[in-house]
Each structure stands twice: as structure tokens, then as C-alpha cells.
Amino acid sequence: MHRKDEGEEAVREWQRAAEAGDPDGMAALGFLLQEQGDTQGARTWYQRAAESGHTAAMSNLGLLLEEQEESEGARAWYQRAADAGLPAGMYNLGLLLQKSGDAEGARTWYQRAADAGDAEAMNTLGALLLGEEDTDGARVWWERAAQAGHIGAMSNFGNLLKLRGDTDEARSWYRSAADSGDADAMFNLGLLSAEHGDIEGALTWYERAADAGESDAMYHLGVLLAEEGNPEGAAAWVQRAADAGHVGAMDGIGVELYQQGDAEGARTWWQRAADAGHANAMYNLGVLLWEEGKSEGARMWLQRAADAGDPEAMDALRGLDGAA
């Protein structure tokens, strides 16, 4: 109740400032109203602040309009904020342009925001450049963003360093990101530990990442526990990974159930993984259907697995065609 009263008092305070013509008050009132779910009120006050030249309100109004699928209006306000020198406006304009397929325009505005010190823009620019196979450019911007404290960039920079064989430097950046709570970095530290034979380190980092919700870490932890002679722990983590949507774990559970004679259970998990695009699960499902005499469904799943590049499915289809 106390917090609600404080929130209402804040709204009243900023409303007085806004109605007195203070652009900061208008922008702050818009933000508070948006937090409370009053998007129409927020839009009104953002608009008034933006029209008074408040650059942050311009960007926030753009975000609100984009959420309401008014992309042209959003773009106009992002552009005004960007032209006024607001890094957040430049970055948001870049995101909108990238979504619309204008990679060149996106790069231009990411670059301007990054040059202005926006770490989020640096990280996103790095990802865009990597997608264009400009690894040197990606490295420059990820390193700058990482040094500026961007956690995702620390992890991304670590990935790039690892690919280039600089595992010590990669581990250092992963550790910085992991210490800041980045689950992907924790998982990558687990992978590095496993690759260097440090099983205890791998188990520690996989478990930390898994506890933080990283499904790849759950699966790898399960696999490593199985290799270390802990089948119960392995089964529990693989199950958690599958429940979290990890398709490899779903496929693995299907294999385990099939080996135990539970074809129905295997079918359920293989179907889920196959529907999610896992090629090996498509193959396994196709083989199971063939064994059950369901040739049409079997051929469909084997074909889908083959189209996804599964070599065993390709061989199976050739065998079926030769026997026909």
C-alpha cells in the first residue's frame, strides 16, 4: 500500500510539472503512466514533451508507437531524436531499419550510436558485421562494448576469441560475463573446461548455467554426468533440458525410451523434437513409423530429415526406393 501511495504521489508531482510546461515533467509523467499501463496517457505526454524538443521523449514515443505497430510514426520520432544527437534514438532507428530489411541504413545508425558511446549499439553492430563476415570489424566493436561493460558483448567477444584460438583471453572475458550473471558465458566456460579435461570445472560451470536456465548447459550437464557414472543425475538434467525446449534432449529421451521398449513414449518425444526441426528426431520418427507399417508417414519424416541434411535418412530413402 505504501508503494502504491508513493507511485500516486510521483504521478501527481510530475503532473504538476508537466501541466506547468516542463518538458522533463512531461517526459517523466509519460514514463510513469506507461509503467502503470496507461499507454494512451503516456503517448499524450511523450508527444507533448517531444514536440517541446525533449529528445528522450522522442525516442520513448517512437518505442511506444512501434509497440502499437505504427512503424512510420515510430521511424519519424526516432529520426528526430537521432538528428538531435540522442544515441538511443540512433540505435532504435537502426533496429527499425534492420527489421525492415535496410541493413545499410541500420549499419549507418548503429555506427553513429556506437561512435557516440552507446554500448548496446556497439554490440549490435558487432553482430551485424559478423553476419557480413567482417570478423575484424566485429572484433573491434565487441571489444569496445565489452570494455564499456556490456555483458553480452563480453560473451560475444569471448566466442570470437575462442574461434581464433585465443582460449586464455576468451576464458577471461567469459569469466567477466559469467561473474555478471551471463548464463551463456557460464556455459561456454563449462565447454572450455571440458575441452581441456577439467571435468570438475565443467560440472561446476554447466550447473551454474543450468541453474540460471540455460538449456544447452542442462543437456551437457546430463551427458557429462552419464559419462561420469551418475545415471540418475544425468536423467534428471536431460529431462529438465527437454522440458525447457532443448530438442537434442528430447531426441535423447526418445532414444532411451525406445531402447527400454516404450515405443509410444519415444514417439511422443521424437515428434516434439521433429516438429521443432531436429533432423535426427525426424529420422528416428520415420524409422519407428516404418517399423509400425506406417509407410506414408515414415517416408514423409525420412524425406524431411534428408532435406535437413541427415545422411542416414538419405541412405534410408535410397534403400526404400531400391526395394520399391
pLDDT score of 11: 77
pLDDT score of 12: 83
Percent of the chain with pLDDT over 90: 91
pLDDT score of 322: 64
pLDDT digits (tens, 9 = 90+) for 23-41: 999 999 999 999 999 999 9
Average pLDDT, the chain: 94
Which segments of 116-214 does DSSP mark as H helices, in order? Answer: 119-131, 135-147, 151-163, 167-179, 183-195, 199-211
* Cα–Cα distance, 65 to 72 (Å, whole number): 9
Sorted by sequence, the CB contacts under 8 Å of residue 27 that are 6+ apart come out as: 45, 46, 49, 54, 56, 57, 60
Up-side HSE of residue 107: CA atoms within 13 Å toward CB?
A: 15
Residue 27 within any structural domain of the chain? yes
* Cα–Cα distance, 176 to 161 (Å, whole number): 14
pLDDT digits (tens, 9 = 90+) for 107-137: 999 999 999 999 999 999 999 999 999 999 9
* Cα–Cα distance, 192 to 247 (Å, whole number): 23
pLDDT score of 7: 64
Is the separation of the CB atoms in 258 and 233 below 8 Å? no
Rg of the chain (C-alpha set) = 26
Sorted by sequence, the CB contacts under 8 Å of residue 104 that are 6+ apart come out as: none
pLDDT score of 261 more than 50? yes
Confidence (pTM)? 0.82
Compute CA distances 257 → 60, 252, 268, whole Å: 52, 9, 10
Cβ density class 41-54: b for 16+ within 10 Å, e for less: bbbbbbbbbbeeeb
pLDDT score of 323: 56
pLDDT digits (tens, 9 = 90+) for 140-170: 999 999 999 999 999 999 999 999 999 999 9
pLDDT score of 272 more than 50? yes
pLDDT score of 271: 97
**Considering only 1-10, 73-82, 136-145, 282-291, which range has the smallest mean pLDDT?**
1-10
Q: CATH number, domain at 40?
A: 1.25.40.10
Number of domains, the chain: 1
What confidence tier does 1 reach under pLDDT thresholds 50, 70, 90?
very low
Q: What is the mean pLDDT of residues 271-278?
A: 97
Residue 86 within any structural domain of the chain? yes
Query: How many Å from the N-terminal Cα to the C-terminal Cα in the chain?
Result: 75
Residue 60 within any structural domain of the chain? yes
Residue 267 within any structural domain of the chain? no
pLDDT score of 266: 97
pLDDT score of 274: 98
pLDDT score of 2: 40
What confidence tier does 5 reach under pLDDT thresholds 50, 70, 90?
low
* Cα–Cα distance, 138 to 193 (Å, whole number): 25
What confidence tier does 18 reach under pLDDT thresholds 50, 70, 90?
confident
pLDDT score of 211 more than 90? yes
Residue 1 within any structural domain of the chain? yes
pLDDT score of 268: 97
pLDDT score of 285 more than 70? yes
Residue 9's domain comprises 1-102
